[in-house]
Amino acid sequence: MDTPRSTALLLNAAHAIDHMFLLIFATAVASIAQEFGFSRWEDLMPYSAGAFLLFGLGSLPSGRFGDLWGRRAMILVFFFGMGVSAILVSLTAGPWSIAAALALLGAFSSIYHPVGIPMLVQGSRNPGLTIGVNGLAGNLGIAVAALVTGFFVKYFGWRAAFAVPGLIAIAGGIVFARIAPREAEAPAKRSSKAAVSLPRATMARIVLVMTLTAITGSLLFNFTTNGNGQLMRERFVGIVEDPATLGVLLAIVYAVASLAQVVVGRLIDRYPLKRVYLTIVMVQAPMLALAAVASGWVLFALQIGFMVSIFGAIPFTDAMIVRYVDDRMRSRVTGIRLAISFGVSSLAVWLLGPVVKASGFQTLLFAMSGIAVCTALIVLWLPDPARTPAPAQAPA
């Protein structure tokens, strides 16, 4: 049975909140750095690394609580925790206090992926499409972060960019508590089977590919989503310099790229996963390499291109979990995967400022192109479609 529509709508909105809140700082970092006495935004950027580290490491306990305690209860903790921590960020007065508040925000943000996505897809008849729509919602949150933060920074200051969304998240928690049906039992107590049963060696191979591609994909995701705003700001000098206008342009990049996840979701339900996955990731490397030497409107077009391919690769790991892992333990498996991938990729956030300061965006983009090549090579390790049976249809 599919998740009730109203609950699914709120779960998708929660995904948008999750990604939006983590990217507000990256969009507003230049203004925050100026207020805190930093001469360059690159010097303040590493203070947000704790948020992304806890976003990954926190997925382990979040996934465990989701399976053993209940997913509905954990999503309530997510809504209220995100709201309160965002408001705390808006009240900070220096780099270390904002680092602590952002780390708290990252801890609460870790709840969504291992809990919200398994809650959304349980019993779904078309899990690929469900994951694709959910991914669209999450990445539209990134677009909203660029658009809304640029607007708030220009007219009300960066603190409002955290405080207002924080109040909205708390309101979302109140609505979710009223309309989301209570769970009869925790997921770990259910009797369920994965859609596909595989030999242990094949399953181990898939888990390895899933983990490694999650690491490389998360590195690209964190480098781009945290760096795109400043990249555009640097490469549009003399063309567009107004922060609100740049925010609109960046929002367009993310909005267009987000649509890729719906398309990919449909393809996952219809075609062999390996074939679709490999096609998507092979686009990343040339787009990132070309962007390294581009500026102005050419860069804008290339940003759309590489973000389409980066966002388009996101649904595959969740699709593999839905296909091969029992629902009763999906939150824990997702939590382990996220703890490893985002724990490692939080390094990208810490390195972003120092690398750009020392070598520039050109070096960073060429390095990301190399990471994309690694992703394609790892995807080649997936078993061939003929060796993995088709998933069974979910019961009506």
The predicted-structure confidence for 285-337, as pLDDT tens digits, reads as follows: 999 999 999 999 999 999 999 999 998 888 887 777 777 776 666 777 777 77
Give the phi and the psi of residue 41 in degrees, each rounded to 5: -65, -30
Pair of tokens at residue 379? 């995807």
CB-based contact 375:217 (threshold 8 Å): yes
Full-model pTM:
0.70
- Torsion from C-alpha of 308, 153, 111, 317, nearest 10 degrees: 10
CB contact at 8 A, 113 and 18 = yes
Q: Tell me, what's the pLDDT at 188?
A: 62
Q: List Cβ neighbours of 214 (8 Å cut-off, separation of 6 or more).
A: 317, 337, 338, 340, 341
Mean pLDDT per 10-residue run, the chain (396 residues)?
Answer: 78 91 87 91 86 85 82 93 96 94 94 87 76 83 81 89 95 94 69 60 81 88 86 87 82 86 83 88 95 93 94 82 71 76 73 84 93 93 64 43
What CATH number has the domain spanning 5-387? 1.20.1250.20
Closest of 359, 361, 234, 242 to residue 306, by C-alpha: 361
CA nearest 385: which of 268, 273, 269? 273
Write down the domain spans for the chain: 5-387
